[in-house]
Amino acid sequence: ATTSSAEVASIVVRQYAIAASSTALATIRQTAIGGASGEPMSTTSFTSTVLGTHRFTVVSLERFEGVVNTAYYLARGTDVLRFDAIDRGVTNWTDSTLSVSTLPAHKALIELLATLQGR
């Protein structure tokens, strides 16, 4: 991937409790907010992937003005963990052939999640 010299890569981890009257998917829907629009992401944009021994719901939250942000959600019994890979300064962010998984934060997060232990 092509990035500028001002590139910044970060990983952010959040925990969301699942309300007693709710579900993991509903919690994911409520917290998957598009970065550029500020609106909830359509569930049609959700995908699923297995990394290591865990299945993650994956949502591209932002791909705008050089920022590429993808959230990996891990549903557990009473909560949902959200892992964001955020790459800034991506000069070819509009390129439809951009392989997001090769960006620094995305690559590091995928490697990290593949080693995740526990339930």
60 in a domain, yes or no?
yes
119 in a domain, yes or no?
no
In this predicted structure, what is the pLDDT of residue 28? Answer: 96
64 is in which domain, residue-wise? 3-113
Helices (H), the chain: 24-31, 104-113
In this predicted structure, what is the pLDDT of residue 37? Answer: 85
Report the mean per-residue pLDDT for the chain. 91
Which run of H or of E encompasses 71? strand 67-75
Provide the pLDDT confidence category of residue 5 given band limits of 50, 70 and 90.
Answer: very low
Distance between CA atoms of 53 and 70, rounded to whole angstroms? 20
Provide the pLDDT confidence category of residue 109 given band limits of 50, 70 and 90.
Answer: very high
118 in a domain, yes or no?
no
In this predicted structure, what is the pLDDT of residue 119? Answer: 67
**Mean pLDDT, range 4-26, rounded to an integer:** 88
Whole-model pTM over 0.85: yes
User: How large is the greatest C-alpha to C-alpha distance in the chain, in angstroms?
Assistant: 47
Number of domains into which the chain is organized: 1
